[in-house]
Amino acid sequence: MIQTRNLTRHFGDVRAVEGLDLDVGAGELVALLGPNGAGKSTTLRMLTTLIAPTSGTARVAGHDVVTDRAAVRRSIGYIGQGNGAGHTQRGRDELVTQGRAYGMSRAAARSRAAELIESLDLGPVADRRVSTLSGGQRRRLDIAMGLIHAPRLLFLDEPSTGLDPQNRANLQEHIRALRERHATTVVLTTHYLDEADSMAERVIVVDHGRVIADAPPARLKAALGDRVTLGFASAPEAASAVALVGGVLDGTRVSVPAEDGPALVPALLRDLDLAGVKVASAAVSQPTLDDVFLSLTGRSLREGVTA
Ligand SMILES: Nc1ncnc2c1ncn2[C@@H]1O[C@H](COP(=O)(O)OP(=O)(O)OP(=O)(O)O)[C@@H](O)[C@H]1O
């Protein structure tokens, strides 16, 4: 459904996307995960023909994003960050207008709108003015707008940014259900780790415009084994612990990979005690996607996340 080869986009000196090779098959639900500025939106904007690549190629639904933009656009739905439905119309009318803009007959647009209103649980609010909808309802309406022409492929740029946890969970549920019902391929970007972890069959981790990992979330995490997280009273103490026992420094915490976490703790505590480094806390955990990111880049995915 998507193939990119060496896809690159520079903005002046900024290398937003650098040599991206991506293959997404029909029916997959893929999350592009990365910190702010990693190049996720730029990737989506190239795949949806909103901006042209600096170099490299991308085919979406069998069409080239540069030479066949109209065909790409007909095949996809795109819901960008914070864009979406206008404010003065009623939700249902917005959907029909959008369907008409895609060349659908009024009857076809109406019937598709009704189907999406039901799928996305918008029935009680579909005939209200868009300006009166809550953030979560508005976001679901945006998604219905992106799906009105029954695209085979849906791009969602940070669908749950700005939503409270309850609305976020609700939206995730709707995206899952939609996919089952309409067999749509979904590519979404997120910097919510739990969202990528729970929703996506495949997580593509990007950093500085490059893919640094691409696998099902469970496999990415299993590859790391257990983690022993040691807490220290100060960052310098944590740094001396890293010098002694290895691991990755994250503020006043040190995360040490271990095949068998519980078995490693006594040895770590003994070594640090002998060296006079005081451990404030120790915990064993299964890795998260943030640990995956940390182990790949030495930085936490949570750093610099603004939303
Ligand atoms: N139109 C533009 N002009 C100049 N630089 C840009 C432009 N669009 C994006 N960039 C830069 O390209 C880099 C990648 O941005 P992009 O928006 O793709 O990141 P992102 O991973 O989507 O981040 P976020 O999670 O914040 O949305 C950033 O350094 C950004 O400042």
CB 191 less than 6 A from any atom of ligand 1: yes
Residue nearest atom 26 of ligand 1, based on CA coordinates: 36
- Give the residue, by CA position, lying nearest to ligand 1 atom 30: 37
Which residues, in sequence order, are CB contacts of 194 under 8 Å at separation 6+?
none
Cβ of 80 less than 6 Å from ligand 1: no
pLDDT, residue 259, reads: 85
ipTM reported for the complex, 2 dp: 0.94
Residue 307 is predicted with a pLDDT of: 38
Residues 81, 82, 85, 90: what is their CA dihedral angle, to the nearest 10 degrees?
Answer: 140
pTM: 0.77
**Best of 10, 20, 41 to mutate for ligand 1, by most ligand atoms within 8 A of CB?**
41
List the one residue out of 148, 147, 146, 188 whose CA is nearest residue 168. 188
C-alpha 277/C-alpha 232 separation (Å) is 9
34 in ligand 1 pocket by Cβ < 6 Å? Answer: yes
Q: Take atom 12 of ligand 1 and give the residue whose Cα is closest.
A: 16
Q: Do domains 2-220 and 225-286 have the same CATH topology?
A: no
| Architecture of the CATH domain 225-286 | 2-Layer Sandwich (3.30)
Average pLDDT over residues 238-251: 94
Statement: residue 279 has pLDDT above 60: yes
Does ligand 1 lie within 6 Å of residue 40's CB atom?
yes
pLDDT of residue 86: 58
Question: Where are the chain's structural domains?
Answer: 2-220, 225-286
SS3 letters for 94-160?
A: HHHHHHHHCCCCHHHHHHHHHHHHHHCCCHHHCCCEHHHCCHHHHHHHHHHHHHCCCCCEEEEECCC
Residue-wise pLDDT tens digits, 194-211: 888 888 999 998 888 889
64: confidence class by pLDDT, cuts 50, 70, 90 = very high
Q: Residues 212-235: pLDDT tens digits? A: 899 999 898 888 888 899 999 999
Q: Is 144 exposed, middle or buried (0-12, 13-18, 19+ CB in 10 A)?
A: buried
Which CATH fold topology does 2-220 show?
Rossmann fold (3.40.50)
Locate the ligand 1 atom nearest the alpha carbon of residue 17 and give its number: 14
Distance in angstroms (rounded) separating the CA atoms of residues 240 and 17 = 36
Contact 149, 102 (CB under 8 A): yes
CA of 37 to the centre of ligand 1 (A): 5
Is 221 in contact with 287 (CB distance < 8 Å)?
yes
